[in-house]
Amino acid sequence: MSETPTVPARPAAPAEGALPGPDGAPRCPWGLSAEDYLVYHDTEWGRPVHGDDALFERLCLEAFQSGLSWITILRRRESFRAAFAGFEISAVAEFTEADRGRLLADPGIIRNRAKVDATLANARLLADWPEGELDALIWSYAPKSAGPAPRTLADVPAVTDASTALAKELKKRGVRFIGPTTAYALMQACGLVDDHLADCVARGTAGR
């Protein structure tokens, strides 16, 4: 599969550092490229996400992003939530063939057959896991200590040893549509790592 970049958007000058936002406070450049990104950057990206259902949602959305821009997913997130029963694992695990047909006909989401099928298969798989196991597994790959804060987007990695190991373990357990780069995007988005730039106003929001 085609893997996605680890930050939601890349500006034309990836070596650029934090830039002033509408309020004058410095932010990661990608967070200033659209209003949707600004809100997401300031309130969600890099903040800790816990709970099996919440992490299942992020896992699914990162998979749907593969080959697309994150803003395409972000702007359809409420439609995704409506289509997939709020990403409640137990509910999605009960989806029928009729539900699959409904999803593939839904213009509010990404109607990619492989991605839809992977989401349904993953829900059925995860529904059999003990409560809290997905959360514990994903967070077990959070680095025990933070490295140097990136000063520019060029300093932000696309993949790490931890994301490679996480993707390998998820695949080993049967999770579909996950690779090292997508796993790292998940780690960034859910706060396992803090890849806000050193001078970004949102730096320091990641953690357990």
- What is the rounded CA–CA span in Å between residue 85 and residue 81? 6
Percent of the chain with pLDDT over 70: 91
Mean pLDDT of 21-49: 95
pLDDT for 12 beyond 50: no
Q: What's the confidence (pLDDT) of residue 15?
A: 57
Domain 26-188 fold: Endonuclease III; domain 1 (1.10.340)
Q: Of residues 30, 45, 70, 184, which has the active-site annotation?
A: 70
List the domain boundaries for the chain. Answer: 26-188
Quick check: pTM over 0.95?
no
Residues in the chain: 208
End-to-end CA gap in the chain: 30
pLDDT band at 145; cut points 50, 70, 90: confident
- What is the rounded CA–CA span in Å between residue 28 and residue 141? 24
40 catalytic per annotation: yes
Mean pLDDT of 38-47: 96
pLDDT band at 1; cut points 50, 70, 90: very low
Q: Of residues 37, 40, 45, 184, which has the active-site annotation?
A: 40
- What is the rounded CA–CA span in Å between residue 106 and residue 181? 28
pLDDT for 11 beyond 60: no
How confident is the model over 103-128, as pLDDT tens digits?
Answer: 999 999 999 999 999 999 999 999 99
φ/ψ (deg, to 5) at 159: -155, 150
62 catalytic per annotation: yes
SS3 20: strand
37 catalytic per annotation: no
